[in-house]
């Protein structure tokens, strides 16, 4: 089912544009309120938890959405700046039928967006998002913006910090030096606090949000500063989040960066060895490196693949009976702890493996031998159907033929940005790079 406004992970785009603005946020809030009333989930709370990241536009968009909810008889509970996984937890803990995060995740500060969560703190399905879109009215709801319910502001953040702090025993990180890059985003008040509370010395990067600097040369999209700081300071570990804290990219003690595929492989193989990987299955997306499959199968497990997007990962995890899954981008879902991607939990679980094995991250990462792979993104003005691009189609077929049975090509539009994403994987690194160049040239020629 296709949506007009919702993409892979909520709605997002330039703030002040045709979609991400206060008028649309109010309309969307009202539509969500109408949808909730029609669903009439028994026993659900009438209060709707809301959070946001550190973008300057966040507060006005949050209050506009809350006004839309109020026009349909729902009370928003505003928790202020809050990582996405903390909001997911708040929805689950409160028994609410809906939760809302105003964020554009890893996008630049000029963008913003809205993510919606349903009962249990799980992201809404595509079908549910389409149902809400169908209830969008043209007029802006005429309702005052309600204030937060008394006594609730900030509790979700405190509850999240307390829960994350219980992932490891007290004092587990005593003597550890950890570099933490919070992308000037929503995790600034959570990840450093948890790690310090467990005994670690924390060196902070990207921890001075000013409303305009989220993801600006820092965070999981730009892990170089974090990795360099790890090497320069002699830290044992580096952690980098995105703007809303649901991603995690790591650095080992040598300053070498680990992506989501490596994190997931380490966690899955350790769980397999301990007999604790549910269904002996790891769920990843079609974007993950083929080396993940080889490593997990060699360790006695299996890999299931989903479409790109941590929502699709979570849905496949439920279908497979799995409790571990994620994306190469750094979304890691440990569903026994959180139903959505949680960058802090992912870092804590890796620290747990390091503690239990007594091995540094530089050794643990050897569990994954990646197949040669190259990827890139081509900016587009309009997302034309791929079937209407003959030159690109011919290039895809030619590159696939050149890669042989051991290779693959993945071409898709981003669900969160105006970009065409290209990926080539095969047995030979030089052929992979050449294939990617060929795809880029064809895409630019037809999509310029």
Structure tokens at 193: 């606090």
Q: How far apart are CA 118 and CA 405, in angstroms?
A: 41
Inter-axis angle of helices 58-71 and 22-39, to 10 degrees? 40
Structure tokens at 87: 């909001």
Which of 36, 40, 166, 159 lies closest to 94, judged by CA?
Answer: 159
425: left (phi over 0), alpha (psi -120 to 50) or beta: beta
268: left (phi over 0), alpha (psi -120 to 50) or beta: alpha
Question: Which H or E element spans position 181?
Answer: strand 177-181
Provide the 8-state DSSP code for 226: H
Q: How far apart are CA 333 and CA 276, in angstroms?
A: 15
Q: How far apart are CA 311 and CA 9, in angstroms?
A: 7
Q: How far apart are CA 357 and CA 354, in angstroms?
A: 5
> Is 165 an annotated catalytic residue?
no
CB 420 within 8 A of CB 413: yes
Q: How far apart are CA 58 and CA 110, in angstroms?
A: 11
Catalytic residue among 57, 71, 96, 105: 105
Strand pairing category for 47-52 and 75-81 = parallel
Q: How far apart are CA 268 and CA 127, in angstroms?
A: 31
Which residues are part of the catalytic machinery?
A: 105
């Amino acid at each position: 089912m296709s949506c007009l406004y919702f993409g892979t992970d909520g709605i997002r785009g330039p703030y002040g544009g045709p979609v991400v603005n206060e008028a649309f946020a109010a309309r969307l809030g009202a539509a969500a309120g109408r949808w909730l009333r029609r669903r009439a989930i028994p026993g659900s709370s009438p209060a709707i938890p809301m959070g946001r990241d550190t973008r300057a536009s966040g507060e006005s968009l949050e209050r506009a959405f809350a006004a839309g909810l109020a026009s349909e008889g729902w009370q928003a509970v505003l928790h202020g700046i809050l990582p996405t996984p903390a909001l997911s937890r708040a929805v689950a803990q409160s028994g609410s039928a809906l939760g809302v995060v105003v964020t554009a995740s890893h996008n630049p500060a000029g963008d913003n967006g809205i993510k919606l969560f349903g009962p249990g703190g799980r992201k809404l399905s595509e079908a549910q998002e389409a149902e809400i879109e169908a209830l969008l009215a043209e007029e802006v709801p005429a309702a005052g913006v309600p204030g937060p319910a008394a006594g609730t502001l900030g509790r979700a953040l405190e509850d999240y910090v307390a829960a994350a702090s219980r992932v490891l025993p007290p004092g587990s990180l005593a003597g550890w030096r950890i570099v933490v890059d919070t992308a000037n985003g929503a995790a600034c008040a959570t990840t450093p606090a948890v790690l310090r509370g467990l005994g670690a010395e924390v060196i902070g990067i990207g921890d001075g949000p000013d409303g305009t600097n989220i993801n600006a040369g820092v965070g999981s999209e730009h892990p170089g500063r974090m990795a360099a700081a790890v090497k320069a300071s002699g830290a044992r570990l580096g952690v980098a989040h995105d703007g809303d804290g649901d991603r995690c990219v790591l650095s080992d003690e040598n300053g070498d960066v680990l992506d989501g595929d490596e994190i997931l492989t380490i966690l899955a193989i350790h769980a397999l060895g301990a007999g604790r990987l549910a269904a002996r299955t790891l769920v990843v997306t079609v974007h993950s490196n083929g080396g993940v499959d080889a490593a997990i199968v060699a360790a006695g497990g299996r890999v299931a693949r989903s479409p790109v997007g941590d929502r699709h990962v979570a849905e496949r995890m439920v279908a497979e009976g799995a409790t571990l899954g994620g994306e190469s981008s750094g979304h890691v879902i440990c569903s026994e702890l959180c139903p959505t991607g949680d960058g802090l939990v992912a870092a804590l679980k890796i620290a747990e493996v390091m503690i239990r094995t007594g091995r540094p991250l530089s050794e643990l990462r050897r569990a994954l031998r990646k197949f040669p792979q190259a990827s890139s993104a081509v900016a587009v003005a309009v997302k034309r159907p791929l079937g209407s691009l003959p030159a690109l189609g011919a290039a895809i077929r030619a590159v696939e033929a050149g890669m042989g049975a051991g290779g693959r090509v993945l071409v898709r539009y981003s669900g969160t940005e105006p970009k065409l994403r290209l990926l080539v994987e095969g047995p030979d690194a030089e052929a992979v790079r050449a294939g990617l160049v060929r795809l880029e040239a064809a895409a630019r020629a037809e999509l310029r």
